[in-house]
Structure 1
Amino acid sequence: MSRKSDKAEQATRLVLAGRRSEWTGAVVNPPVWRASTHLYEDSADLARGRANADGEFYYGRRGAPTQWALAEALTELEPGAAGTVLYPSGVAAIAGAFLSVLRAGDVLLITDNAYHPSRAMADGLLKRFGVETRYFDPLDPEGFPALFCNRTRAVLFETPGSQTMEICDIPALAAIARERGAASLIDNTWASALGFPALERGCDMSIMALTKHVGGHSDLMMGSVSATQDHYRKLRLTSQSLGQIVSPDDAALALRGLRTLGLRLEKESASALKIAQWLSARPEIAHVLCPMLPGAPGHDLWKRDFTGGCGLFSIIFKGRDEAARARFMDALRLFGIGYSWGGFESLVIPVDPAGLRSVTSWPPPGWDGNDRLGIRLSIGLEDPDDLIRDLEGGLQAMEQGR
């Protein structure tokens, strides 16, 4: 199937997914079901119990039609998924995935460019529970098999890498993990299933911070994990054991955001590419870390494995110090300074990867050692020409202080 037809099919699924008539009734969207107690018809109905599945009323902690519709929609958008579990944040989703496959004595492999909270969880919570974490270079597939032992139970991937945007060969690495009996987990927030069908590429669980693109309006916190048939049941039971549940009001917001996800990703990606191309020609910039950009690191793998991208990428300044970076950021007027990304508004934060590496180096081999500081840009829905003018003003302010 061509990329064009893939996109058309995705657009239709984004509109229809999760809209069962028994959940929506006579309206377009599932109503917001706020309920802790689910009532039974009589004592015999109570005695029969309810199946542990979406669509079966039991108790508020297992959700109701608003949450079920969102979970089902996400499942329909992830080819190969048997089901999706919702969590109150992206980090909670990462924790839920870890705890569903790991126990004391196991070994977890984590890509060295993983999201910092994932690393902190492994080095803190999981370590206290007796799980050993080993980091690996995601750009060294030849050395990857040697990292496995008879205690290795799971691998966490992230592509592009957090902040530094490396693209690794997920199909090849996930195949190695599967051959050795380890589950492949991936933080797939950057591209989502629309741009990278992670389970089709060999992963067992696809994790997303719905806070970002799916919410899309910077007004909710939520995460999800979509899993294959082999992993979904244990994932769901682990979540229920931990008492994880999301608000029906937030689920309704996420459902609303989901319907326009494709359009927003397309707009943000196009704007990001235009801005990345402009930045790549600027003398103040040493590196533009945007895998969608032809010639950028990882572009060939991105072109092979991805069908889309998003507005998030990083740049590295040429020999500038922290004071110069601060002048640049403080001069921006259209970019807010703040965490998260994937909303309708553009954001900027500093990038300092050196302290977040265990087995790889920063700057990478071959770079000028003075080119180490940068920023991460999240491109929103503003006009890209306006954003370029704003960035130009930031660069001018940075240079005026030299």
Structure 2
Amino acid sequence: MTDTVPADLATRLIHHAYTPPAGFEAPQPAVHKASTVIFPNVAAVRAREWKDKTSYTYGLHGTPTTYQLEERLATLEGGVQCLLAPSGLAAIATVSLSLLRQGDEVLIPDNAYGPNLALAEVELRHYGIRHQVYDPLDPADLAARISDATRLVWLEAPGSVTLEFPDLAEQLRICRARGVTTVLDNTWGAGLAFAPFDLLGDGSLGVDISVHALTKYPSGGGDVLMGSIITRDEALHLRLKLTHMRLGLGVGANDVEAVLRSLPSLALRYRAHDAAARELASWMGTQAPVAQVLHPALAGSPGHAHWRALCGQAGGPQGAAAGLFSVVIDARHGQDEVDAFCDALRLFRLGYSWGGPMSLVMPYDLPSMRQRATPQLRPGTVVRFAVGLEAVEDLRQDLAQAMAQAFSR
């Protein structure tokens, strides 16, 4: 029996016989989009395994494009396996939903990314999972709160908005001694400021899981939402991957392409954000309305010594830090003045997130965000700056003109 060519044009177009020749190579990986994956025969359907990267079964379980990003991100952070999620928060939720059960307890630092705490307060509580908030600057407080029910400890270095840098190594030692799984929100470090799976450089101490909001520096454009979950332990990775599958989490191939395109410039951009943020943060510390500057790399910022111990040699003698800093506007200036200052900025735009080319600013109502006292902070209103890639002098002039407009005394 010979093959017959279908008579209908539509059928011929769908089942066209041409296959491009092998051997094409270019700087950027190809973009493979698929829900359905075609199998050559029934034996292949039965033989293929979706839990590893040896084959393809369904678009949600991976394509050559997503596999490449996962492998590169694992290399970036020093892990072995990586899962992609639709956002950083989706990655956070996947970890907690996978590893916690009714009656378990999770510990979260008081300065954690707000939606992580909200997830515990509402969604996890519905499942009978308890949580406690611990002082990120006091390892003894963390140690005292670990109980027989504690199954997971979230870590964040530095903390969200106020950027206190914890003694991450000591926190990990405490959790390891108690046999508690640790997961780090490593978005600020981006795999560049320190090695989350090898903090001391000798293989003796590292986190169990690193979660990364790829929305920030890996994307770099302010136009992608994505997260990652990176591990070294194969059994832990499989447990997370099964939850990931059951939740039906997937990412779009074009978003993956955008992150793959940005990764080669990640280290260059991170250093540029860092240098600009340090210069502007130091300058802001000389301005009359500013009571305190919060930047881990600046002496006097809460946890600076811990930053220096962990990040002080990363990438050179100046160490590494992200392009974020916050200031406490002195309490003599009311909320109206602080809001007017933010509104008067022209290059710093009002917006959440960070890591893109445009500088951003956001005032925060800190008392509504913290459950514990904050003696490490001066009285006043916290304003966070995410420094983009604009010229530093232009950003300095923007800050100066806005302060001159808003602060009358």
Tell me if both proteins adopt one fold, taking TM over 0.5 as the criterion: yes
Structure 1 residues not aligned, in runs of 5+: 1-22
Looking at structure 2, the residues matched to 71 and 35 of structure 1 have their Cα atoms a distance apart, in angstroms, of: 17
- Where does residue 299 of structure 2 map in the other structure? 294
Distance 1:68 1:25, change over 3 A: farther
Q: Return the letter of the residue paired with 1:139.
A: L
- Where does residue 229 of structure 2 map in the other structure? 225
Looking at structure 2, the residues matched to 44 and 153 of structure 1 have their Cα atoms a distance apart, in angstroms, of: 41
**How far is 1:24 from its partner?**
9.1
**How far is 1:101 from its partner?**
1.3
- Where does residue 335 of structure 1 map in the other structure? 348
- Where does residue 8 of structure 2 map in the other structure? none
**How far is 1:25 from its partner?**
4.5
Which digits, 9 at most, give the CA deviation of each residue in 1:233-263, with x for residues without a partner? Answer: 1111111111111001100001111111100
2:50 touches 2:61 (CA, 8 Å); kept in 1?
no
Q: Specify the structure having the higher radius of gyration (Cα).
A: 2
- Where does residue 48 of structure 2 map in the other structure? 49
**How far is 1:51 from its partner?**
4.8
- Tell which deviates more after alignment, 158-167 or 228-237: 228-237
Which of the residues 210, 213, 220 maps onto 1:209? 213
**How far is 1:142 from its partner?**
2.0
- Where does residue 155 of structure 1 map in the other structure? 153
Which of the residues 385, 400, 405 maps onto 1:397? 405
Looking at structure 2, the residues matched to 206 and 94 of structure 1 have their Cα atoms a distance apart, in angstroms, of: 10
2:167 touches 2:303 (CA, 8 Å); kept in 1?
no
2:48 touches 2:56 (CA, 8 Å); kept in 1?
no
**How far is 1:146 from its partner?**
1.5
Looking at structure 1, the residues matched to 392 and 103 of structure 2 have their Cα atoms a distance apart, in angstroms, of: 50
- Where does residue 7 of structure 1 map in the other structure? none
Which of the residues 164, 167, 183 maps onto 1:166? 164
1:351 is the counterpart of 2:351: no
Which of the residues 129, 142, 145 maps onto 1:144? 142
TM-score where L is the length of structure 1: 0.90
SS in 2 for 1:194: coil
Which of the residues 270, 273, 277 maps onto 1:268? 273
- Where does residue 100 of structure 1 map in the other structure? 98
Looking at structure 2, the residues matched to 24 and 33 of structure 1 have their Cα atoms a distance apart, in angstroms, of: 16
Looking at structure 2, the residues matched to 343 and 241 of structure 1 have their Cα atoms a distance apart, in angstroms, of: 32
- Where does residue 311 of structure 1 map in the other structure? 323
1:131 is the counterpart of 2:144: no
1:64 is the counterpart of 2:51: no
- Tell which deviates more after alignment, 66-75 or 300-309: 300-309
Give 4+ residue runs of structure 1 displaced > 3 Å after superposition: none
Looking at structure 1, the residues matched to 54 and 307 of structure 2 have their Cα atoms a distance apart, in angstroms, of: 38
**How far is 1:282 from its partner?**
1.0
SS in 2 for 1:376: strand
SS in 1 for 2:137: coil
Structure 2 residues not aligned, in runs of 5+: 1-21, 200-205, 315-319
SS in 2 for 1:292: coil
- Where does residue 200 of structure 1 map in the other structure? 198
1:347 touches 1:377 (CA, 8 Å); kept in 2?
yes
- Where does residue 3 of structure 2 map in the other structure? none
SS in 1 for 2:139: coil
Looking at structure 1, the residues matched to 236 and 402 of structure 2 have their Cα atoms a distance apart, in angstroms, of: 47
- Where does residue 338 of structure 2 map in the other structure? 325
1:24 touches 1:30 (CA, 8 Å); kept in 2?
no
- Where does residue 391 of structure 2 map in the other structure? 383
Looking at structure 1, the residues matched to 88 and 225 of structure 2 have their Cα atoms a distance apart, in angstroms, of: 8
- Tell which deviates more after alignment, 43-52 or 284-293: 43-52
2:155 touches 2:182 (CA, 8 Å); kept in 1?
yes
Looking at structure 2, the residues matched to 352 and 316 of structure 1 have their Cα atoms a distance apart, in angstroms, of: 11
SS in 2 for 1:192: coil
- Tell which deviates more after alignment, 221-230 or 246-255: 221-230
1:82 touches 1:232 (CA, 8 Å); kept in 2?
no
**How far is 1:304 from its partner?**
0.9
Aligned length: 373
Looking at structure 1, the residues matched to 24 and 82 of structure 2 have their Cα atoms a distance apart, in angstroms, of: 23
> Could you say what the CA RMSD is over the residues aligned between the two structures, in angstroms?
1.5
Distance 1:87 1:324, change over 3 A: same
Looking at structure 2, the residues matched to 168 and 25 of structure 1 have their Cα atoms a distance apart, in angstroms, of: 48
2:366 touches 2:382 (CA, 8 Å); kept in 1?
no
- Where does residue 15 of structure 2 map in the other structure? none
TM-score where L is the length of structure 2: 0.88
SS in 1 for 2:106: strand
Looking at structure 1, the residues matched to 325 and 54 of structure 2 have their Cα atoms a distance apart, in angstroms, of: 39
Looking at structure 2, the residues matched to 172 and 374 of structure 1 have their Cα atoms a distance apart, in angstroms, of: 28
2:137 touches 2:303 (CA, 8 Å); kept in 1?
no
- Where does residue 373 of structure 1 map in the other structure? 381
Looking at structure 1, the residues matched to 23 and 382 of structure 2 have their Cα atoms a distance apart, in angstroms, of: 47
